[in-house]
Amino acid sequence: MKKDRIIAVLLVLFSLLIAYYSFQLPASTMEGEPGSAFFPFILLALLILCSVGLFFSRPVKKPALTEEQRREYEDLGLDLTDEAEKSQAQSLVEGLLLYGFFFIGIIVMYLFGFIAGITVGISGMLVFIGWKVPRALIFSLITACIIFLIFNTLLHVTLPSGKLL
Amino acid sequence: MKNQKGFVFCLTLLLVLSLLAACSQPAATAPASTDPAAPASSPQIAYPEKPKDLTILFGAGSASDVVARRLTDLVTKDIGQTIVANNRVGGGGAVGYQHVLSTDPDGYNIVWNSTSISTTYHQGNMPADQGIEAFAGIANITLESAALAVGPDAPYQTIAEFVAYCQEHPGEVTVANSGIGSFNHLVAAALENAAGISVKHIPMDAKQSTTALLGGQVDAICNMTFDIVQQEQAGQIKTLAVVSEERHALLPEVPTLKESGYDVTIMMYRGIAAPKGTPAEVISKLETAFLAAANSEDFQSFAAQYGVEVKPMGAAEFDLYMAEQDQEVADLMETLGIKTQ
Amino acid sequence: MLEQLGQALTIAITAENFFFMAIGTVLGIVFAAIPGLTFSTALILFLPMTFGITPIAAISVMLGIFCGGMTGGSISAVLLGIPGTPSAAATVIDGFVLAKNGQGGKALGTAVYASVFGGIVSVLIMICVAPLIAKVALTFGPAELFMLVLFGLSTVVGLSEGNMLKALIACLMGLLFTTVGMDPVVGLQRFTFHFAPLMSGIGIMPVMIGAFAFPEIINTFLEYKKDKGYKEKNIESSVKAAFPDNKEKKRLLPLNIEASLMGTVIGAIPGGGGPVAAFLGYSLAKSKNPRCGSGELEGVAWPETANNAVTGGAMITLLTLGIPADSAAAIILGVFLIHGVVPGPMLFQDNGPMIYALFISMLIINVMVLVFQFFGMKLFVKVLNLPKINLLAVILSVTVVGAYATHVSFTDITIMFLIGLLAWFMKRHQFPVIPLILGLVLGGEIERNLRIALLLSGGSLNFFLHSVVSVLFLALSLLMLLSPILKPQIARLFGGKK
């Protein structure tokens, strides 16, 4: 619930920021036409309204689970104990790292092209989750090449080519 | 292990499928095969065989798009090099122009240019340094006219009646055109100026405006004649006038604005352009190819079917023409008070 | 008339035509099934293929891609949780849940069955009453269209997964994203900060791929890491693709017809299109079966019926009026024109056999979709049995292709990544993602039509009271939006009256 409040505040700040930019949009030149800022303003107003609502809302109570449902959840691998809270924080960091690897892949792709980028990015992610380095590299490289062949060469779907390579 | 095999199997299948797809495509998209019909005079220069990208500024199925694709196909067959046409829509052409200008002037990125460069620039949709001077002309291909049309049951069935009605109801009559900064809007504004009337401009693209006219939501539309012809021939709309020097080949009963007493004859040119700085030999090679296609019987009969006038011009002539037209558009827009830069 | 029909048959039933119909269908299915590539991409890409062949074959290829493509999107939606096309965005909701529960085969089969049902019914409607539908389509001006899309937007209440405020916030965010780029009316740039690639706005495909693919993939990767070696859940190892059985077919039937009709009309309205139809189809499903969202066949069937019915509807407007109802139809129009065939009222008069040949071809294409999908299903479902991590890694790579392909712009990849990050955070804080997609898909049309309607009415807000159609949809939208509050009240009212 506290997280929701933080999000609500962030949303309000975000809306105000966008509203600031909206004010700089020119007014309408045509009669009857409300102008470029009209729609954004309405949306932002609604967003602020909803965010305030979110701020003051009580948390949605999770319904008590029956034994059967509890078993079902376990089958699906979902963890409901308080351990979950701790691992949430850990998975946040891990998740961000995974995204980070992919982002590095994007940068490499921008500079050196599709194949290089995918190889670096994907193998980074795979190594992070436990694959052995050579296996990850080979797999990513082969995947990148096959995709390149199928899409770029055969189907003529353009793929990113690096600025440097 | 079994799973890995299945995985490889699927990838192979995908490959096979795409091979099938590739094989069914004509030679145009495979590495160029020698074309015996290629004009022997086209200079063989070190111009590697990468496919070229032609930017079309308007949506698929539009006047601009259809002609461009037909042309591109002919040229591809002729010079044996692939030209891939891509639609990059928005801002009255601004999006496409800016894309082309962001590429290197190496001749691999060209644009299906038209008077839109002038209208969208002077409207302010383009950065200040990306006006007509940023482009090098390769060849002009066609010249097209715009037209004004109303519904068959409208209270005005001639241009004179229309003008009279507008004078009695200033600012009320709605005219749909492609939006501020577009060529069609310019034509509509020019008409307002010449006839001393004031109408309400509704921004809608060609297809939407036709729908709106047929559905009775707007009073009139100002579109390229290409988009209006077949509705007119079916009797579903009434074209009041075309904007050109002479009457339109497919609509001989429709008068021009000029003969009706309003001196507006601005027409839209369409041709190929590239970013300034493209090497001269590249321009020359493309010029030859596109002009050959434009002069071919295939293209001429295609254009005639749609009433598009073919007006080929070489690179040098085109450069002068573009500059001239740009000045004309700028002056017109200044007079109308819609020029921003 | 019979003579024309006979001529039509000779035009349509040729080896060349069949060949191209088949190619088109397969290409459509394949392209749509790959997240990020849609049938619109395929239509443009394979346009050059149509140059050297007869007009009917050329159009058949395009129709094959169109119809096959509408179906193909559901494949990745069900199996991977990533809609292959914007029109399949609603299919993900129940489809993917079903797949996770081991019922992927049934879900896929239902999607295919429903799609072909919608497609064939819409072609039949086209054959019988095309001019009537076209007339209806013409009554939808900017005001009516705004109301229609607003109605589509109001279905967000059915997508809230229990958390209405958060769903609304997500939807508003999606709508805000559409304001980036070129203003639809005035032509000036909004929120682009003079960054050229943003001029065409935030693309739908990068957002969709990012929003659906990334959180799922990242979470699965994280689980793998936690378990140190992913143990495949013991789902019955052969997930068999299956069509719905007779009992289910009966259950789905009445609303299948309704969804087809609705889809056809929406498809015929210029500005309507697949996504609107799909989401409305989904809200139809939710109203009939409130358990939609946790894996119900209705949630898969009716959006698919509706979006495939759009193909027939779009062709109605294209053939009778010569006006393309959406971007795919516009490309098809281009093919028509390039081949010198001008669709519209003149075509009916001058070239009747061609029209009939097109009808026949379209029917055959829908049957082909069924056939190809029948075999394809069995193949596609095998995807579920592949080693998860490998598969997801490949998909991740393909997402880059998909994001880049539409505008050949690197910014799209970045957008996909950022949205992927955002969606992951959203999921972690119980913000439903589908409303964001809904807002993004419908936002452009809503704003444009609202402003043009206001322009036409001279600024007065009661423009929507001017026609029956817009009042109707306004009422429907309000009802839909208020239903979460009204429903329990009504239940209490009726429950009290023992």
Q: Which own/partner contact pairs does B192-196 have at CB distance under 8 Å and 24+ positions apart?
A: B192/B336, B193/B335, B193/B336, B194/B257, B194/B262, B194/B263, B194/B264, B195/B163, B195/B166, B195/B262, B196/B167
* Same domain, residue pair C106 and C213: no
The pLDDT of residue A73? 58
Domain borders along chain A are: 1-60, 94-165
Say yes or no for a CB contact (<8 Å) between C413 and A109.
yes
Residues of chain B with CATH 3.40.190.10: 146-243
- Could you tell me the pLDDT band of residue A1, with boundaries at 50, 70 and 90? low
Which 3-state string (H, E, C) describes chain C?
A: CHHHHHHHHHHHCCHHHHHHHHHHHHHHHHHHHCCCCCHHHHHHHCHHHHCCCCHHHHHHHHHHHHHHHHHHHHHHHHHHCCCCCHHHCCHHHHHHHHHHHHHHHHHHHHHHHHHHHHHHHHHHHHHHHHHHHHHHHHCCCHHHHHHHHHHHHHHHHHHCCCCHHHHHHHHHHHHHHHCCEECCCCCCEECCCCCHHHHHCCCHHHHHHHHHHHHHHHHHHHHHHHHCCCCCCCCCCCCCCCCCCHHHHHHHHHHHHHHHHHHHHHHHCCCCCHHHHHHHHHHHHHHHCCCCCCCCHHHHHHHHHHHHHHHHHHHHHHHHHCCCCCHHHHHHHHHHHHCCCCCCHHHHHHCHHHHHHHHHHHHHHHHHHHHHHHHHHHHHHHHHHCCHHHHHHHHHHHHHHHHHHCCCCHHHHHHHHHHHHHHHHHHHCCCCCHHHHHHHHHHHHHHHHHHHHHHHHCCCHHHHHCCHHHHHHHHHHHHHHHHHHHHHHHHHHHHHCC
For C397, the closest of A53, A76, A122 (CB atoms) is A122
The pLDDT of residue A4? 82
Q: Which residue of C has its CA nearest to A12?
A: C169
Listed residue (A34, A35, B90) closest to C192, CA to CA: B90
Say yes or no for a CB contact (<8 Å) between B18 and A31.
no
To the nearest whole Å, the CA of C230 is away from the closest chain A CA by 10
User: Which residues on A lie below 8 Å from C142 (Cβ)?
Assistant: none
Cβ within 8 Å of A, B 48-107: 51, 84
Which residue among C331, C366, C386 closes a domain?
C386
C46 near B CB under 8 A: yes
C386 near A CB under 8 A: no
SS3 assignment, position B198 = coil
Say yes or no for a CB contact (<8 Å) between C222 and A95.
yes
Rounded to whole angstroms, how far apart are CA atoms C168 and A11? 13
- Could you tell me the pLDDT band of residue C436, with boundaries at 50, 70 and 90? very high
The pLDDT of residue B39? 34
> What's the burial of C135, exposed, middle or buried (CB within 10 Å: 0-12/13-18/19+)?
middle
User: Which residues on B lie below 8 Å from C331 (Cβ)?
Assistant: 60-61
The pLDDT of residue C190? 82
The pLDDT of residue C35? 80
Total tally of structural domains belonging to chain C: 2
B15 near A CB under 8 A: yes
Is residue C153 domain-resident? Answer: no
- Could you tell me the pLDDT band of residue C238, with boundaries at 50, 70 and 90? low
Mean pLDDT of C337-366: 85
pLDDT at C490 over 60: yes
* Same domain, residue pair C117 and C266: yes
Q: Between B72 and C198, whose confidence is greater?
A: B72
Mean pLDDT of C469-497: 75
Out of B148-157, B328-337, C380-389, least confident range: C380-389
The pLDDT of residue B32? 32
* Same domain, residue pair C247 and C370: yes
Cβ within 8 Å of C, B 234-253: 234, 236
Rounded (5°) CA angle C237-C238-C239: 110
Q: Which residue of A has its CA nearest to C30?
A: A155
Mean pLDDT of C19-40: 87
CB B225 within 8 A of CB B210: no
Rounded to whole angstroms, how far apart are CA atoms B101 and C199? 14
C57-116 pLDDT per residue, tens: 899 999 999 999 999 888 888 888 888 888 898 898 888 888 888 788 888 888 888 999
Work out whether strand B83-87 and strand B52-56 pair parallel, antiparallel, or are unpaired: parallel
pLDDT at C405 over 70: yes
Q: Between B38 and B75, whose confidence is greater?
A: B75
Say yes or no for a CB contact (<8 Å) between C455 and A126.
no
Is residue C151 domain-resident? Answer: no
For C218, the closest of A35, A98, A109 (CB atoms) is A98
Say yes or no for a CB contact (<8 Å) between A150 and B18.
yes
Q: Which residue of A has its CA nearest to B202?
A: A30
SS3 assignment, position B146 = strand
The pLDDT of residue B36? 33
Is residue C421 domain-resident? Answer: yes
The pLDDT of residue B75? 87
Domain range spanning residue C446? 168-229+395-461
How many beta carbons lie within 10 A of that of residue C414, not counting itself? Answer: 18
Mean pLDDT of C204-216: 88
Rounded to whole angstroms, how far apart are CA atoms C404 and C192? 19
How many beta carbons lie within 10 A of that of residue B92, not counting itself? Answer: 30
Say yes or no for a CB contact (<8 Å) between A150 and B51.
no
The pLDDT of residue B45? 39
Say yes or no for a CB contact (<8 Å) between C346 and B230.
yes
The pLDDT of residue B49? 63
Say yes or no for a CB contact (<8 Å) between C386 and B76.
no
To the nearest whole Å, the CA of C327 is away from the closest chain B CA by 7
pLDDT at B323 over 80: yes
Would you say the C-alpha torsion A155, A160, A162, A163 has a positive or negative sign? Answer: positive
CB C470 within 8 A of CB C464: yes
The pLDDT of residue B3? 44
Residues of chain B with CATH 3.40.190.150: 47-144+267-336
Mean pLDDT of B284-311: 88
Say yes or no for a CB contact (<8 Å) between B84 and A149.
no
Mean pLDDT of A18-36: 78
Out of A61-65, B75-79, B115-119, C360-364, least confident range: A61-65
> What's the burial of A156, exposed, middle or buried (CB within 10 Å: 0-12/13-18/19+)?
middle
SS3 assignment, position A89 = helix
Mean pLDDT of B204-230: 86
pLDDT at C265 over 80: yes
The pLDDT of residue B27? 31
pLDDT at C397 over 70: yes
The pLDDT of residue C366? 92
Q: Which own/partner contact pairs does B299-303 have at CB distance under 8 Å and 24+ positions apart?
A: B299/B70, B299/B71, B299/B74, B302/B67, B302/B70, B302/C340, B303/B67, B303/B142
Q: H-helix or E-strand containing B226?
A: helix B225-233
The pLDDT of residue C158? 75
C446-456 pLDDT per residue, tens: 888 888 888 88
For B14, the closest of A29, A30, A150 (CB atoms) is A150
How many beta carbons lie within 10 A of that of residue C498, not counting itself? Answer: 4
User: Which residues on B lie below 8 Å from C138 (Cβ)?
Assistant: 211, 214-215
Listed residue (C50, C244, C307, C282) closest to C159, CA to CA: C282
Mean pLDDT of C376-389: 78
* Lookup: tokens for C223: 């689980």
Q: Between C351 and C420, whose confidence is greater?
A: C420
pLDDT at C419 over 90: yes
CA distances from B161 to B58, B164, B228, C125 (A): 33, 5, 20, 41
Cβ within 8 Å of C, B 80-139: 84-92, 94-95, 98-99, 102, 123-125, 127
Tell me whether 0.85 is exceeded by the ipTM: no
Residue that the structure tokens 């030209």 belong to? B83
Say yes or no for a CB contact (<8 Å) between A147 and C37.
no
The pLDDT of residue C270? 86
To the nearest whole Å, the CA of B264 is away from the closest chain C CA by 24
Cβ within 8 Å of B, C 131-150: 137-142
B31-58 pLDDT per residue, tens: 333 333 333 333 333 455 677 888 888 8
To the nearest whole Å, the CA of A121 is away from the closest chain B CA by 21
C49 near B CB under 8 A: yes
User: Which residues on B lie below 8 Å from A155 (Cβ)?
Assistant: 18, 21-22
Q: Which residue of B has its CA nearest to A148?
A: B15
pLDDT at A93 over 60: yes
* Same domain, residue pair C379 and C413: no
User: Which residues on C lie below 8 Å from B302 (Cβ)?
Assistant: 340
* Same domain, residue pair C74 and C136: yes
* Lookup: tokens for C104: 């992927």
User: Which residues on B lie below 8 Å from A29 (Cβ)?
Assistant: 180
C389 near B CB under 8 A: no
For C334, the closest of B66, B180, B218 (CB atoms) is B66
The pLDDT of residue C253? 80
For B230, the closest of C342, C382, C385 (CB atoms) is C342
Query: Among residues of chain C, what percentage have pLDDT more than 70?
Result: 95
CB B214 within 8 A of CB B237: yes
Mean pLDDT of A125-135: 84
The architecture of the domain spanning B47-144+267-336 is: 3-Layer(aba) Sandwich (3.40)
Mean pLDDT of A62-66: 56
Mean pLDDT of B246-268: 87
Listed residue (B215, B64, B235) closest to C268, CA to CA: B215
SS3 assignment, position B78 = helix
Which residues make Cβ contacts (< 8 Å) with residue C211, sequence separation at least 6? C419, C420, C422, C423, C433, C436, C437
Q: Which residue of B has its CA nearest to A149?
A: B15
Listed residue (C363, C265, C351, C252) closest to C300, CA to CA: C252
Fold of B146-243: D-Maltodextrin-Binding Protein; domain 2 (3.40.190)
Q: What is the CA radius of gyration of chain B?
A: 22
User: Which residues on A lie below 8 Å from C222 (Cβ)?
Assistant: 91, 94-95, 98, 129
B35 near C CB under 8 A: no
> What's the burial of C4, exposed, middle or buried (CB within 10 Å: 0-12/13-18/19+)?
middle
